[in-house]
Amino acid sequence: MDIGHLKQHSDLNFKVAQAKKNALEKLRSRQLMAYNQRLFQADANTINLVSTLKQHSEDFYVLDANDNPCHITDPEEFLNRLIERNQETLNAYHQLHQDLANKRIT
Amino acid sequence: MTTGVLLYCFDTETAKYHNLAERCILQAQEYLDLPITVVTNKDTQSRLKSKSVEYKIVTEKTGNTRTYRGQNVPWHNKERALAYEHSPYENTILMDCDYFVFSDTLLQLSASQYDILLHHDTHDLTGEDMIVGSDESTLPLVWATVTLFRKTTNTRAVFDMIKHVQAYYSHYRNLYRIKYNNYRNDYAFAIALHQLSLGSKIPTPMAMLPIGVDVTDSDASGVVFKYGNYTNFITGQDVHIMDKEWCDV
């Protein structure tokens, strides 16, 4: 590869990396979810925590995104909403990721 | 409890903020479906065409300026300190008219019970990190671009403190070693929250397109933007656009 092609390659990779960064920020922002008047991130951590606590108790407390406690009285409903939001955002990210992968190939 | 959007919009000699506000209103109606109140002056209101919003007419304070694309331009931004009094809603989404909604994220935020929520961080969509310079102040900065607040005693104290900071801005500017001479709401809000130990974070950063970026195209779901030789786009994500002319055409 001569320096001209290397520059083109570098430019494309910069664009793809930035698009990926932006898409991840969008994903995180779309994962914000209000529940029982508190704010949660519908990410893997929250889902894992709720899923684990649900196995031990019918109701429990968790910290929200700003470290305030929230009483979860219907863990099933909460978990379903978290998973729905999480998968909705990940589907959108997956589509963009595929587009970016195709860009790199072509 | 009533929830609504509050906007401030004052045209200046150099910027047609009413064009930005028109677009901002359209986006908010599309994604939030909440009542909207625009605080403006008579002159700007005569150019605003939106019928389905409430207008509150005030006479704004003048004299403040900002740097925009190498020029010093007028900036009428001091009325925001009165947002608590101006808002007819118990739960208010206070937004700059250059903040554009392309998702329901603000509805999620407004469904929480925090007294006051603001962004503490930004995400520069260009990847150039042009938004915040180094050593601009000794203050934990917040962004007043989007402020969600409920009418509570705490919030009342915050807005009263902002008024006090505005009145004695040169003192607070020195105290917090703020680099810029002009009055910025971001700093006034940050100082008030710091003094009162109040305010909660919007957990994700605010997506921004800095001043040097041109918006070249848009539809109801997103915008296309150009910086240097790069063109990119965003969809489904709320964004603060600092290009003040993109709605003029």
- For residue B206, the model assigns a pLDDT of 97
Q: Is the dihedral of CA B179, B184, B186, B191 positive or negative?
A: positive
In whole numbers, what is the pLDDT of chain B averaged over residues? 94
Residues 59-88 in A contacting B (C-alpha not used; CB under 8 Å): 65-66
Q: Is the pLDDT of residue B53 over 70?
A: yes
- ipTM given for this complex: 0.88
**pTM, full prediction:** 0.93
* A100 inside 8 A of chain B by CB: no
CA distance A102 to chain B (A): 16
Q: Is the pLDDT of residue A53 over 70?
A: yes
- The Cα B107–Cα A38 span in angstroms is 13
Q: Testing the interface with A: which of B143, B204, B240 to mutate, by most A Cβ within 10 A?
A: B204
Q: What are phi and psi of B124, to 5 degrees?
A: -80, 115
The share of chain B scoring above pLDDT 70, in percent, equals: 100
Query: Closest-CA residue in chain A for B227?
Result: A15
Domains of chain B, earliest start first: 3-241 (3.90.550.10)
Confidence band of B67 (pLDDT split at 50, 70, 90): confident
- For residue B248, the model assigns a pLDDT of 84
- The Cα A37–Cα A105 span in angstroms is 45
Best CA proximity match to B81, nearest among B1, B205, B241, B191: B191
Q: Is the pLDDT of residue A20 over 80?
A: yes
Q: Is the pLDDT of residue B134 over 80?
A: no
Determine whether the interchain pair A39/B232 forms a contact, defined as Cβ–Cβ distance below 8 Å: no
User: Degrees (nearest 5) of the Cα angle B97, B101, B103?
Assistant: 170
- For residue B104, the model assigns a pLDDT of 93
